[in-house]
Amino acid sequence: MKLVYIKWVDSKNGPEGWEYLDGLEPLKPILCSSVGFLIDDNKDYKTIAPTIGGGQVLGRITIPSYTIKKIIYLKIPELQSVKPLEK
């Protein structure tokens, strides 16, 4: 199973509640960084999970491909023996 670092862009939410139009500050997208095991890799999106064990995953996230700025495949010798999850 491949371990990856993904740099991607996400939306930003405003504060809760009403806001006056006068004085609104811009909500710029956020540059995010995520690391995890690549469990679904296709042209439309990448799904990673930071934790795997016992045929389970914890905390998976799907990142749309069009938001991805960079992917780095991490090479850690001990991970070469990690097998893909059974379906």
Q: Is residue 57 part of a domain?
A: yes
pLDDT of residue 83: 67
83 located within any domain:
no
* Domain that residue 58 falls in: 3-11+28-78
Contact assessment for residue 32 and residue 9, using Cβ atoms and an 8 Å cutoff:
yes
CATH number of the domain where residue 49 is located: 2.30.30
pLDDT of residue 79: 64
Q: Is residue 87 part of a domain?
A: no
Confirm whether 86 is domain-assigned: no
Give me the pLDDT at residue 71, please.
Answer: 98
Q: Mean pLDDT for each consecutive 10-residue tract of the chain (87 residues)?
A: 95 92 93 97 97 93 98 82 62
DSSP string for residues in 2-32: -EEEEEEEE-----SS---STTPPP---EEE
Please give the tally of structural domains in the chain: 1
Torsion of the alpha carbons at 64, 67, 72 and 78, rounded to the nearest 10: -30
Identify the CA nearest to 68 among candidates 1, 14, 5.
Answer: 5
**CA–CA dist 29, 6 (Å, integer):** 16
User: Which pair of structure tokens corresponds to residue 25?
Assistant: 């500050």
Q: 37: which strand partners?
A: 3, 49
User: What pLDDT score does 23 carry?
Assistant: 87
